[in-house]
Amino acid sequence: MQTENHHAISIRNLKKTYDNGHQALKGIDLDVRENDFFALLGPNGAGKSTIIGIISTLVRATSGQIQIFGRDVATDVYQTKLSLGVVPQEVNFSQFEKVGDIVMTQAGYYGLKGQLAKERTEKYLKKLDLWDKRDNRSRMLSGGMKRRLMIARALVHEPRLLILDEPTAGVDIELRRSMWDFLQEINRSGTTIILTTHYLEEAEHLCRNIAIINHGEIVENTSMRSLLGKLARQTLVFDTFSELTAAPVFEDPDIHSHLIDSHSFEVSMSTSRDINALFNVLSQQNVLIKSMRNKTNRLEELFLSSLSTQK
């Protein structure tokens, strides 16, 4: 039965113990709102793929409940599966089938036939830049193309919820950016997206909310903005036009500077500090700034901090 809520997915006390005794999930509670772009992060073996496996029914939960758009995965199998698209971590299509046939076949599993299946296949293969490859055997595709094929296949029935398990692993930077644009486009069109990734920059760039899982438990579950707001210090790297013999000096004891080379230095400071004040000091010392960047990935620091807190 469908109940009124605004969650694309709602997980309650989800536990999974495998036959070998390994307890992969220790009672997960997680809500993802409709239309969200949600990041599920965690180190290898944390339980991310187990959660995705249970949602997609490839893994049986030991206990707990999952609802997709208010419908129970265990009892309302048809409707929940109809609203779900999954892009797995590993390639899981036949290496001997043609690209177009793989997407058409998936359309058939969802009851799409004939012209509609052809139109959807063409639409998503074109969107993912694979239309020219439709008559090629899938084993001939590059790694990045195989990942895009799995996305096209997952979208052919136009699910309301798309789960991507490390979709850009092994994909070059240019292609990764174009995949980000595509995922943002379908998210804007109303598809809820849950993403697991090892590229924390990717999660920071794409996702509005985030959960961090470790040893089968959720250790952080908040908005990206709120999580990044927890960052206490940051390190900024400055490139200069002028040649430096020493790092600029700051009177404020909270700000520490360090010379990297004759044309660059770094400054470590609290995130609550005003960066404009920093520029004023640099101007007074006749240091002409060419460019500035954050030295470390902010999310990476928080991610490591969350994991170390749990230890």
Partner 1 sequence: MFNGHKYIAFETILIKEVRRFTRIWMQTLLPPAITIGLYYLIFGNLIGRRIGDMGGYDYIDFIVPGLIMMAVIQNAYSNVSSSFFSNKFQRCIEEILVSPVPNYIILLGFVAGGMARGLLVGIIVTIMSFVFTSLNIAHLGLTVLVVLLTAMVFSLAGFINALFANTFDDISIIPTFVLTPLIYLGGVFYSIELLPAAGQWVSALNPVLYMVNTFRYGILGTSDVNVYWALSMLVFFSALLFGVALYLLRRGTGLRH
The site for partner 1 (CB under 8 A) is made up of 18-19, 53, 56-60, 77-78, 81-82, 84, 86, 88, 90-97, 101, 105-106, 108-113, 153
- Helix, strand, or coil (residue 247): coil
Pick 32 or 73: Cβ nearer partner 1: 73
CA 6, CA 198: separation in Å to the nearest integer? 28
R_g (Cα) of the chain, nearest Å? 23
57 CB neighbour count, 10 Å cutoff: 16
Strands 161-165 and 84-87: parallel
Pick 104 or 269: Cβ nearer partner 1: 104
Pick 32 or 200: Cβ nearer partner 1: 32
DSSP state of 252: S
The CB-of-59 to partner 1 minimum distance in angstroms stands at 5
Strands 7-17 and 23-33: antiparallel
Pick 77 or 140: Cβ nearer partner 1: 77
The CB-of-163 to partner 1 minimum distance in angstroms stands at 10
The CB-of-85 to partner 1 minimum distance in angstroms stands at 9
* Cβ neighbours of residue 13 closer than 8 Å, sequence gap 6 or more: 27, 28, 29, 63, 64, 65
The CB-of-136 to partner 1 minimum distance in angstroms stands at 14
Pick 8 or 175: Cβ nearer partner 1: 8
CA 174, CA 141: separation in Å to the nearest integer? 17
The CB-of-17 to partner 1 minimum distance in angstroms stands at 11
CA 235, CA 137: separation in Å to the nearest integer? 48
Pick 94 or 271: Cβ nearer partner 1: 94
- Helix, strand, or coil (residue 106): helix
- Helix, strand, or coil (residue 165): strand
The CB-of-139 to partner 1 minimum distance in angstroms stands at 10
Across the beta sheet with 7-17, the strand order is 23-33, 7-17, 63-68, 71-72
